[in-house]
Amino acid sequence: MKVLVAMSGGVDSSVAAGLLIEQGHEVVGATLKLWGGVSDSGCCSVSDVDDARRVAQVLGIDHHVFNYTDEFEKHVVEPFVAGHAAGQSPNPCIECNRFLKFGLLFERAKRLGFEKVATGHHAQVVERDGKHFLVRGEDNQKDQSYVLGYLTEEELSMLLLPIGHMNKTAVRVEGERLGLRTWDKPDSQDVCFIEASKGREVFLRSRIPVTSAKIVDRTTGEVLGETDTAELMTVGQRRGVLPGRDGEKRYVAKVDIASQRVEVGTLDQILISRIALDASSLTFSHAELRDGATVLAQWSAHGIPKRATLRNENGWFIELHEPARPVAVGQSVVLYRESEPTIVEGAAIVAPS
C-alpha cells in the first residue's frame, strides 16, 4: 500500500514510518513547513525539518517538504491572535490539525495517488462493520484523541496511526532499534510559532495592542487588582489573581476586553452547568447525535471527561450532569461515547454563552 507519512521530526512520526516500512508498505515522508517566523519550540523549527530528512535517509525513503506557511498564517495564527484580542482562548494545535494536517495534507495525498496517510499521533483507528472509529491511544499520559476529535469517517478511513497501540517507552525502544536519531529526542510541548524564551505576551504585542483591565470581584464589585494584559487572562485561571478580603482564592469568571474588566469569583461562584457550542464547528465522526444523547465531554488535552447531555434547543450546547470549572470560549470540547469511553463521537468549539 502506498502511504504518505507526516514526519514532524520527532520520535513518534519517525517510528511510525519505520514500522510501516517493516510491514511492507511503500512509504514516502512529508514534512510540513508551516511557520515562516522564528521558532525555538514546538514542531516547526529548522532542526525538526532536518531531523525528519535525516530519518528518511536512514529509512531509505523519499522525503518532501510541503510549504503551507500562508495557509498556516490564515487558518491558525490569525484566528489565534483575533481570539485573544476578543478575550477568548483559542487552541492553535487543534486548528492546525483540522485545516492543515488533516485537511490540505490529505487533499494533496489523494492528488498524488497515496492510498493512506499516516501520522505519529497517540490514538487509534478501529474498524467495525465497515465504519472507522477514532479511539484513545494506549498510553493514557500521551493520548492525543482530543486533538483529533474533528476527524470524520472519510478522514478516518484514510488514516493510519501505527504507534497508537504503544506507550511512549515502547516507541523510544523501537526508535533505538531502528537506528533513528530521534529515538531520545524530547517531546514538543509548546505552541510552535511562539518562542518559548519570549512567550505569548511578546508575540501578541507584536501583532495587536494589548489592554489593561481591572480585576473585579463579580459578587461585591470590589477591585482586587489590575492586569496589563487582559488578552492573556483565561476563564478558570487562578494564577495572577489575588484572593478576596475573605482570604479565599479567586478565579477568572469572565474577560471583557471592551470594558477593560476581568471578573473573578470563588470556585463555587464560577462553576458552570452548561457549555454553549459553535454550531458551525460542530462535527460528528459519523451520524449526528440526537438531542438528549448522553456523552462524556472533555475540554482539555488531558482533562477528566465529564458526563453531559447534548442539547439542540435554540442552538447546540451540552448540559453538565455535575457543575464544573468554566471553559474558555475558543477552546474545544470533544465528545466521547458514554458506553465506550475510549471512542470519539465528535467535537465543537466553545461559543459565548
**CATH code for the domain of 314:** 2.40.30.10
In our burial notation (b when 16+ CB lie closer than 10 A, e otherwise), range 322-347 reads eebebbbbbbbbbbbbbeeebbbbbb
Per-residue model confidence (pLDDT) at position 262: 96
How many other CB atoms are found less than 10 A from the CB of residue 166? 21
Pairing of the two strands 223-227 and 213-217? antiparallel
Are 255 and 235 contacting, i.e. CB atoms less than 8 angstroms apart? yes
Nearest to 135 by CA among 287, 31, 285, 282: 285
How many other CB atoms are found less than 10 A from the CB of residue 58? 15
List of residues 6+ apart from 293 with CB closer than 8 A: 309, 310
Helical (H) or strand (E) element with 133: strand 131-136
Nearest to 83 by CA among 276, 270, 331, 347: 331
Distance CA(136)–CA(236), nearest Å, equals: 26
Q: Is the dihedral of CA 299, 300, 302, 303 positive or negative?
A: negative
* CA geometry: angle 101, 106, 107, nearest 5 deg: 125
Q: Is residue 8 part of a domain?
A: yes
Specify whether 103 is located in the same domain as 227: no
Specify whether 30 is located in the same domain as 99: yes
Q: Is residue 132 part of a domain?
A: no
Residues annotated as part of the active site: 96, 192
Q: What is the mean pLDDT of residues 166-185?
A: 95
Specify whether 239 is located in the same domain as 293: no
What is the tens place of the pLDDT at every residue in 48-106? 889 999 999 999 999 999 999 999 999 999 999 999 999 999 999 999 999 999 999 99
Q: Is residue 109 part of a domain?
A: yes
Task: Copy the grid coordinates of residue 182.
Answer: 530521534
> What is the domain range of residue 248?
210-267
Residue whose entry in the numeric block shows the C-alpha cell 510549504: 67
What is the Cα 192 distance to its own chain's centre? 12
The structure's pTM equals: 0.93
Indicate whether 189 pLDDT > 70: no
**E strands, 98-222, in order:** 116-118, 123-128, 131-136, 159-160, 213-217
What's the burial of 239, exposed, middle or buried (CB within 10 Å: 0-12/13-18/19+)? exposed
Task: Copy the grid coordinates of residue 143.
Answer: 493520548
Task: Copy the grid coordinates of residue 113.
Answer: 495517488
What is the tens place of the pLDDT at every residue in 74-87? 999 999 999 999 99
Distance CA(274)–CA(258), nearest Å, equals: 25
Specify whether 87 is located in the same domain as 115: yes
Bridge partners, residue 317, by sequence: 276, 311
Specify whether 257 is located in the same domain as 338: no
Radius of gyration of the chain (CA): 21
Q: How many residues belong to the chain?
A: 353
Are 11 and 183 contacting, i.e. CB atoms less than 8 angstroms apart? yes
**Considering the chain, what is the average pLDDT of its residues?**
93
Q: What is the mean pLDDT of residues 138-147?
A: 94
Indicate whether 137 pLDDT > 70: yes
Distance CA(67)–CA(142), nearest Å, equals: 28
Model confidence at 42, in pLDDT bands (50, 70, 90)? Answer: low
Residue whose entry in the numeric block shows the C-alpha cell 451520524: 287
What's the burial of 129, exposed, middle or buried (CB within 10 Å: 0-12/13-18/19+)? exposed
The larger pLDDT score, comparing residue 338 to residue 188, is at 338
Specify whether 282 is located in the same domain as 312: yes
Per-residue model confidence (pLDDT) at position 44: 58
Q: Is residue 157 part of a domain?
A: no
Distance CA(2)–CA(91), nearest Å, equals: 32
Specify whether 255 is located in the same domain as 327: no
Specify whether 45 is located in the same domain as 58: yes
Q: Is residue 19 part of a domain?
A: yes
Per-residue model confidence (pLDDT) at position 76: 94
- Indicate which CATH number applies to the domain containing 168: 3.40.50.620
Specify whether 252 is located in the same domain as 279: no
Number of domains into which the chain is organized: 3
Q: Is residue 104 part of a domain?
A: yes
Are 250 and 224 contacting, i.e. CB atoms less than 8 angstroms apart? yes
Q: Is the dihedral of CA 159, 164, 170, 172 positive or negative?
A: positive
Q: Is residue 195 part of a domain?
A: no
Looking at residue 139, what DSSP letter applies? -
Per-residue model confidence (pLDDT) at position 260: 96
Specify whether 37 is located in the same domain as 169: yes
